[in-house]
Amino acid sequence: MTVKATSSSRIFTFEARLALVALGAVVFAAPSFAEVVVGTATVLDGDTLEVMGKRVRLSGIDAPELDQTCDRNGSRWGCGQAAKAQLSSMVSGKQVRCRGEERDVYTRLIAVCTVGYLELNKALVEDGWAVVYGDNRGAYLA
């Protein structure tokens, strides 16, 4: 007995192939999972921490560089060192939790970090120690 292929069997084959391609696309395009780092932190500068041996860059903000100076009432002051000191006071002796999904060109985890309910990124902007940076979409704007 000979089985003759019909147009409906060819459509099924095409649909089956299309479904497999779509399934493969979903599997390979699955979202990446966030990396979470928890522990005590060492502050490297006004927007960079080291937690559990991993360097973490606070996402969405930019603090003065460590050696940067700023003008205040006509006088120069070490705003970079002051921003580092402020972040240090926020994390000193406390458990820091950082969650991020990307890394920068220096392989630092780009993350939002918290101490308890305090979001460090947001607090630094609100207190004037950092400015909103990148495509943060206004999350820290007052």
Question: What does the block give as tokens for 7?
Answer: 């147009």
Question: What pLDDT band is residue 33 in, cutting at 50, 70 and 90?
Answer: confident
The string of pLDDT tens digits covering residues 54-63 is 999 999 999 9
* pLDDT on residue 82: 97
| pTM assigned to the model | 0.74
User: Would you say 73 and 98 are in contact if contact means Cβ atoms under 8 Å apart?
Assistant: no
What contacts 106, CB < 8 A, 6 or more positions away? 55, 57
Angle (CA) 97-108-113 rounded to 5° is 20
pLDDT reading at 31 higher than 60:
no
Residue 67 pLDDT > 80, yes or no?
yes
